[in-house]
Amino acid sequence: MIKNEYHHGNLKEEFLKIAFDFILKDDVENLTLKVLSDATGTSRSAIYRHFVSKDALIEMMIFKGFEEFGNAISPLLKNQQKLLVDRFYLSAKTYIEFAMQNPNLYRLLFGKKYAHIRDTIINIQDEECSGFSALKAAIEEGQRSGILKKEDSFQRTILIWSSLHGLSSLLIDGFMDINNIHTELYDKMFQDMLDTFTAKKIKLLSSIPFINDMIHPAK
C-alpha cells in the first residue's frame, strides 16, 4: 500500500486521538509510531513532522491527559453554586472514576516510567494542573469560612490527594480485589476525611442526603 504523504484534516490531532484510543485498551508500552502510521495510512515521515519520537508523542499525551483530567475535576471544585462539602465529595469521586475508566492514561500521568518527561512540562502546583490547585483553593475556602481546620493547606491537599491516589491505584492495579466495593470504600474514606479535617464547632451542610447522614448520623 502506498502511504499517503498529505495531511487530511488536522493530522496531529488525529494521531493523538488514535494514541488515546489505543491506551484505552492496551498498555502505553505497546504504543508505537507504527501504530499511528498503520491506523492513518501515512508514512513515517508524515508522523515525524509532528512527533520526532515516541517520547515526543508521550509528552503531548501527558500534557493533554492532565488537561482532560483537570477539566473533569476542577469545575466541580470551583462551582460556587454547590455547597463546599458536595464539591469535595463529587470531585474526589470523579477522580477515582477517571482512574478506573482510564487506567493506562492514569498510569501514564502519575507513574514513574515517564516521570522524566512529565517533570519537564507539568508542575503539580500549576493553577490548572489536574485539579490539585483547585482542591487546594477549595480547602483554603473552607478554612476561611471556618468549615475546615486552619492548617497548612498544601499539606492537607497532599494528604487528600495521596488518599485518592492510593485507592485509585489499588483499584486499577488489582493489588486487592476490591472493585466490587469501591463505592463503599470511597464513602468511608470520605467520611474519615471529614472527621479529620473539619472544624468541630461547625455544622456542615450538604444537599446530598446520604452525606447528611454521614455528617449527622441518626441517633
3-state secondary structure the chain: CCCECCCCCCHHHHHHHHHHHHHHHCCHHHCCHHHHHHHHCECHHHHHCCCCCHHHHHHHHHHHHHHHHHHHHHHHHHCCCCCHHHHHHHHHHHHHHHHHHCHHHHHHHHCCCCHHHHHHHCCCCCCCCCCHHHHHHHHHHHHHCCCECCCCHHHHHHHHHHHHHHHHHHHHHCCCCCHHHHHHHHHHHHHHHHHHHECCCCCCCCCCHHHHHHHCCCC
Say if domain 1-52 classifies as CATH 3.40.50. no
Where in the chain are the domains? 1-52, 54-215
pLDDT at site 141: 95
Q: What is the pLDDT of residue 1?
A: 30
- Give CB contacts under 8 A, 24+ apart, made by 98-102: 98/69, 98/72, 98/73, 99/168, 99/169, 99/171, 99/172, 100/168, 100/171, 100/172, 100/179, 100/182, 102/24
Q: How does pLDDT run along the chain (219 residues), one tens digit per residue?
A: 333 443 445 889 999 999 999 999 999 999 999 999 999 888 888 888 899 999 999 999 999 999 999 999 999 999 999 999 999 999 999 999 999 999 999 999 999 999 999 988 877 666 656 689 999 999 999 999 999 999 999 999 999 999 999 999 999 998 778 889 999 999 999 999 988 898 877 677 788 777 777 766 554
Closest CA to 191 of 158, 152, 163: 163
pLDDT of residue 169: 94
Look at residue 7 in the predicted model and tell me its pLDDT: 46
> What pLDDT shows up at residue 75?
95
pLDDT for residue 175: 75
- Per-residue confidence (pLDDT) for residue 209, from 0 to 100: 76
CATH number for domain 54-215, candidates 1.10.357.10, 2.60.40.420, 3.40.190.10, 3.30.420.40:
1.10.357.10
With a threshold of 0.85, does the pTM exceed it?
yes
Domains 1-52 and 54-215 share a fold: no
Give the pLDDT of residue 104: 97
